[in-house]
A and B are shown apart, each in its own frame.
Chain A
């Protein structure tokens, strides 16, 4: 637009003031971006969570594990497609404070596609696991953290004793796995057969079944069916779908939504006031200049649009920079609050919001300036 140089020069009339105002807008939108990112991340996580994967565990955490034989009964429940199981060995590596968990799975092919969000194994790695009884697959993150490579032997100390009374379990790294979800996991994937054979107690038991239902819409029904099958037995189960987990987790962050809204409101109020004040101050100072534009033939509307244009350009620029900064902070903030993300919608909302802010704060001063009488303004009245 040919009026851009004029708008631009108006914005930078007082560079210091423009920068400070811009900073406030940037900070406000950065905060909005981070907070909104948290909320959208949470919503997204819930939406992405698989409703068709049911996690079956013993009803009392800390209580006795479930018999492995349950797998047959689970498979026979209508609606269930596949069932996999896993047990966990908790151990420490090198230091008693450095915990490493081994998720011991049955090495059947179903694990290639069962729950790739948590454990995604390639056929080669699964093969390697099959070939070595004491083999484990590690995640790239873990390998980097401990400096492990394929072929390394990893001794873990555990309170789960082996039949021979030993508390040290040795594993060989034979491959890698990934997780499609955000968390790479601080665990290794090992062989259930090895764990079950070597351990002293709880033989033939597992703590985790993963049942995949054919139709996600039937998840609730199947969940109840599973728990009913084993209710009133000596090994009751508790079945929760991955989606329910996500919802429960997010629910516990519940009140945070209210807190976020309050904070964003406070920020908005302060920003609106500040920007409005600056707009009023600036238009007041510029009346002589604006009068000259009018003498040159700029109509009242033209002056109004010019001032609004300046406000809009400034606010949009601040919003974009602020949201950009927020996105940049996500990797760091994700350590404390998981699952941050910034979908296009939020950016769109932010930009539109910035335009609204510009309009709200600049309309009144711009209108007043546009209506000024040339003669009075030129004379300094």
Chain B
């Protein structure tokens, strides 16, 4: 009898007997479902966080910081080099011929959470004119832009929602003087973190900070970065380097990403291993129950190949529903769920690639779990099995 014929006979025999072995089969399904569900949920966290952070990132937006600084926070750019920076090649210009660039000073101050009253830090961004140019995704939803020279702030809607005193008209006391919130805005489509903008000069003098942290520019085209970097290299006294916004954001996320990746794959692997053990255990038991039947078939001339393959296929057929259930449950419970770990707030995203990964994971469990039992089934000592009670 050829391979396919043997294979289909074996598979049919086994599948029709599922009702008698329901407990064992369900064990495999549930084990795989739990392992895949957890993996997918955690991957969704990572994807959601990344989407959130990278949501507004543009390939033509570049951040200039002092050379050697690990990030904008540690960088400092003196006021006198700003004109030199604005003149660099590759920077886009608006209709009036002004460079689309803004220098920004970053300060971290405190706000209080609305619900609990706990203090939490937020970024105060003192920016020069040009904010509208470099962040076109900023859309005011109420109020107006701040005016230069005045103690005025605009806050993102996230701030207004989560923290107290960020709505239009609210007053905040900073550095001994009163500041007033004159506008609320959204940053593109994503929820985003809480960001507050104010006039650069006012901030610098109020907080007695002498230098800016960074300059954000829009390039003529994403490729123009090359021009810009060349120009910077040719001018080493400037001591400035340019990084794409994507790069800076990713570095910012590194710590969080690192932890999340570790947790995801550590836990995911552990659960997969446990599910695989469970699957193997159940399959061994199933093979045991079929001892007589398999031995008889062997005596009749069935070869090991089809037996091994049929059991592996069975294992995969049991793991797949588990995968779908796992992905389904993760999607049901966690898609769109807003998580706020580490001060980051984002929505979990159970995407198609994640689902696919979950299913592949399950397939892996099925194959690995089924391997040994399949081998055992094919090498059953015929005579002892036939004598089995």
Q: Do A and B come from one complex?
A: yes
Chain B CB within 8 A of A327 CB:
no
Stretch at the interface among B24-32, B148-156, B307-315: B24-32
Residues of chain B within 8 A (CB-CB) of A55 are: none
Chain B nearest CB, measured from A262 CB (Å): 7
What secondary structure prevails in chain A residues at the interface with B?
Answer: helix
Chain A CB within 8 A of B73 CB:
yes
Q: Is the CB–CB distance between B176 and A273 below 8 Å? A: no
Chain B CB within 8 A of A96 CB:
yes
Count A-side interface residues using an 8 Å CB cutoff: 59
Q: Is the CB–CB distance between B282 and A277 below 8 Å? A: yes
Q: Is the CB–CB distance between B73 and A27 below 8 Å? A: no
Q: How extensive is the interface on chain B, given as a class?
A: 35 or more
Q: Is the CB–CB distance between A96 and B68 below 8 Å? A: yes
Q: Is the CB–CB distance between A59 and B109 below 8 Å? A: yes
Q: Is the CB–CB distance between B274 and A266 below 8 Å? A: no
Q: Is the CB–CB distance between B209 and A62 below 8 Å? A: yes
Stretch at the interface among B3-11, B242-250, B335-343: B335-343
Instruction: Assess A336 versus B258: contact at CB under 8 Å? Given A17-B285, A274-B278.
Output: yes
Instruction: Assess A278 versus B175: contact at CB under 8 Å? Given A27-B270, A96-B68, A252-B342.
Output: no
Residues of chain A within 8 A (CB-CB) of B119 are: 240, 248
Residues of chain B within 8 A (CB-CB) of A281 are: 23-24, 285
- A357 to B68 alpha-carbon distance, docked (Å): 57
Chain B CB within 8 A of A269 CB:
yes
Instruction: Assess A238 versus B110: contact at CB under 8 Å? Given A16-B284, A270-B278, A277-B24.
Output: yes
Q: Is the CB–CB distance between A17 and B281 below 8 Å? A: yes
Q: Is the CB–CB distance between B107 and A60 below 8 Å? A: yes
Chain B nearest CB, measured from A353 CB (Å): 16
Give A96-110 interface residues, CB cut-off 8 Å to B: 96-97, 99
Give B259-295 interface residues, CB cut-off 8 Å to A: 259, 262-263, 266-267, 270-271, 273-275, 277-278, 280-282, 284-285, 288
Q: Is the CB–CB distance between A60 and B174 below 8 Å? A: yes
Q: Which one of A234, A252, A266, A277 lies within 8 Å of B37 (CB-CB)?
A: A266
Chain B CB within 8 A of A5 CB:
no
Q: Is the CB–CB distance between A256 and B341 below 8 Å? A: yes
Chain B nearest CB, measured from A263 CB (Å): 5
Residues of chain A within 8 A (CB-CB) of B106 are: 62
Residues of chain B within 8 A (CB-CB) of A263 are: 38, 267, 271
Chain B CB within 8 A of A21 CB:
yes
Chain A CB within 8 A of B381 CB:
no
Residues of chain A within 8 A (CB-CB) of B207 are: 60, 62-64
Closest to A20 in B: B281
- Of the listed residues A238, A253, A266, the one surrounded by the most CB atoms of chain B closer than 10 A to its CB is A266
Residues of chain B within 8 A (CB-CB) of A233 are: 176
Chain B CB within 8 A of A293 CB:
no
Residues of chain A within 8 A (CB-CB) of B267 are: 31, 35, 263
Q: Is the CB–CB distance between B176 and A234 below 8 Å? A: yes
Chain A nearest CB, measured from B251 CB (Å): 12
How would residues 32 to 43 of chain B score, 1 for a CB under 8 Å from any chain A CB and 0 otherwise? 011101100110
Q: Is the CB–CB distance between A269 and B34 below 8 Å? A: yes
- A76 to B265 alpha-carbon distance, docked (Å): 53
Residues of chain B within 8 A (CB-CB) of A124 are: none
Q: Is the CB–CB distance between B274 and A59 below 8 Å? A: no
Chain B CB within 8 A of A232 CB:
yes
Q: Is the CB–CB distance between B76 and A336 below 8 Å? A: no
Chain A CB within 8 A of B169 CB:
no
Residues of chain A within 8 A (CB-CB) of B271 are: 27, 31, 263, 266-267, 270
Residues of chain A within 8 A (CB-CB) of B80 are: none
Chain A nearest CB, measured from B275 CB (Å): 7
Q: Is the CB–CB distance between A63 and B208 below 8 Å? A: yes
Closest to B42 in A: A259
Instruction: Assess A234 versus B175: contact at CB under 8 Å? Given A30-B270, A263-B38.
Output: yes
Closest to A336 in B: B262
Residues of chain B within 8 A (CB-CB) of A380 are: 389
Q: Is the CB–CB distance between B107 and A62 below 8 Å? A: yes
Q: Is the CB–CB distance between B175 and A59 below 8 Å? A: yes
Chain A nearest CB, measured from B211 CB (Å): 10
Chain B nearest CB, measured from A201 CB (Å): 8
Q: Which one of B74, B259, B278, B281 lies within 8 Å of A337 (CB-CB)?
A: B259
Chain B CB within 8 A of A172 CB:
no
Residues of chain B within 8 A (CB-CB) of A337 are: 259, 263
Residues of chain A within 8 A (CB-CB) of B42 are: 259
Residues of chain B within 8 A (CB-CB) of A27 are: 270-271, 273-274, 277
- A220 to B121 alpha-carbon distance, docked (Å): 19
Q: Is the CB–CB distance between B277 and A24 below 8 Å? A: yes
Q: Is the CB–CB distance between A28 and B23 below 8 Å? A: no
Chain B CB within 8 A of A145 CB:
no
- A194 to B140 alpha-carbon distance, docked (Å): 50
Chain B CB within 8 A of A61 CB:
yes
- A240 to B174 alpha-carbon distance, docked (Å): 18
Closest to B333 in A: A262
Closest to A233 in B: B176
Chain A nearest CB, measured from B135 CB (Å): 21
Closest to A270 in B: B34
- A240 to B343 alpha-carbon distance, docked (Å): 18
Q: Is the CB–CB distance between B176 and A236 below 8 Å? A: yes
Q: Is the CB–CB distance between A20 and B274 below 8 Å? A: no
Give B299-353 interface residues, CB cut-off 8 Å to A: 339-343
Q: Is the CB–CB distance between A63 and B107 below 8 Å? A: yes
Q: Is the CB–CB distance between B30 and A269 below 8 Å? A: yes
Residues of chain A within 8 A (CB-CB) of B175 are: 59-60, 63, 234, 236
Q: Is the CB–CB distance between B37 and A59 below 8 Å? A: no
Closest to B274 in A: A27
- Please, could you name 13 A-B residue pairs with CB atoms under 8 Å apart, sorted by A? A23-B277, A35-B267, A59-B110, A62-B107, A63-B207, A159-B76, A232-B176, A248-B118, A255-B340, A262-B41, A267-B38, A269-B34, A271-B274
Q: Which 10 interchain pairs have the tightest Cβ spacing?
A: A63-B207, A270-B34, A64-B208, A20-B281, A27-B274, A61-B108, A277-B27, A274-B278, A266-B34, A96-B68
Contact surface of A with B, Cβ cutoff 8 Å: 16-17, 20-21, 23-24, 27-28, 30-31, 34-35, 59-64, 90, 92, 96-97, 99, 159, 231-234, 236, 238, 240, 248, 251-256, 259, 262-263, 266-267, 269-271, 273-274, 276-278, 280-281, 285, 288, 333, 336-337, 380
Q: Known contacts A232-B173, A252-B342, A288-B389; can you find 7 more A-B pairs with CB under 8 A?
A: A20-B277, A60-B175, A61-B107, A63-B107, A234-B176, A238-B110, A259-B341
